[in-house]
Structure 1
């Protein structure tokens, strides 16, 4: 399953996201950096307050909206984060990062088929997007594990199936 640590790495994607959204150059990269610094420094409340102020002034900023989704995800406000990332995919369908983060949240809920679809969508927009590629691999491992578990419930299951199931579980546990 995609691991939540990819959400942490996704903050690094904010720079790429803002480069992809050059039309929003007035959104001030320093604002997002300052909010991220506060957040990473442990001042979550102040970071969210500053982010709310920045979003009030720049409601359509994909960079700030993405940062909000990441912060919500990391503070275990998954339902709110899902809403943020879904809206980003609707408003900026060409940006792969929101699809990736949305996929991580769905995978954490056990919605592996939806996670796979979202990761494949991210990769249509950026075939070399490392985090999405790795997350897709993790989803495929979990899907394989699920299929092997279902197959092993059959009394006619071959002995080799148990080896495959163990391997999938071992890989999925890493």
Structure 2
């Protein structure tokens, strides 16, 4: 479910192409982002947003840049605000879900993906990511079964199947509150 820079850039391209007259600055920020010039892209995005604070594409790009910089909480803040201002856009919800899943917050990820699907029912990426979230949640539950009932013979096989399905990805449990 990890959103690579290439996939993120492709998503940005789709979002940006949907706008009729795209500003050169947004294209420049996107290019810096795709080249991996993250600090410069963030600085450029911040300067652009100082003049155009409601620009959805620039805000979305800023969220992606922050996520790539490892500033997950800042990225979540930017994308959450974007969903509040533009609830009809599915991409911010999808990207929020990716960030929540990376933190082991699968319920929050599921909720975000369901919102993405509500806004855009044929958004295939959100459907696939939702399937991944359900698989991760199932793995956590099968792992609990092994802890609670050592004699259970079906849970280990199901857990192995899900781990194979997920390509051996580590499954994070939700953080304790």
Unaligned runs of 5+ in 2: 170-177
1:76-91 paired onto structure 2 within 5 Å: 76-91=70-85
Cα 1:42/1:16, change in 2 over 3 Å: closer
Q: Which moved more, 1:124-133 or 1:85-94?
A: 124-133
Q: Which moved more, 1:34-43 or 1:79-88?
A: 34-43
CA RMSD of aligned residues (A): 2.0
Deviation at 1:156, TM superposition (A): 6.3
Q: Which moved more, 1:75-84 or 1:11-20?
A: 11-20
Report if aligned partners of 2:62, 2:78 keep a CA contact under 8 Å in 1. Answer: yes
- The answer on 1:168 being equivalent to 2:167 is no
Mapped to 2, the partners of 1:80 and 1:38 lie a distance apart of: 19
What is aligned with 2:32?
Answer: 38
Report if aligned partners of 1:17, 1:62 keep a CA contact under 8 Å in 2. Answer: no
- The answer on 1:4 being equivalent to 2:11 is no
- 1:124-155 CA-to-partner distances (Å, cap 9, x unmatched) read 11112122111111101101101111112233
Give 1:48's match in structure 2, choosing from 42, 53, 60.
42
- The answer on 1:149 being equivalent to 2:147 is no
What is aligned with 1:65?
Answer: 59
Runs (4+) of structure 1 exceeding 4 A deviation are none
- The answer on 1:17 being equivalent to 2:11 is no
Report if aligned partners of 2:117, 2:127 keep a CA contact under 8 Å in 1. Answer: yes
Aligned residues: 168
When you count helix as a share of all residues, which structure comes out higher? 1
What TM-score do the two structures reach when normalised by structure 1?
0.86
Report if aligned partners of 1:66, 1:98 keep a CA contact under 8 Å in 2. Answer: yes
Unaligned runs of 5+ in 1: none
Mapped to 1, the partners of 2:124 and 2:23 lie a distance apart of: 23
Cα 1:72/1:147, change in 2 over 3 Å: same
Report if aligned partners of 1:100, 1:122 keep a CA contact under 8 Å in 2. Answer: yes
Mapped to 1, the partners of 2:55 and 2:128 lie a distance apart of: 27
Report if aligned partners of 2:145, 2:152 keep a CA contact under 8 Å in 1. Answer: no
What TM-score do the two structures reach when normalised by structure 2?
0.85
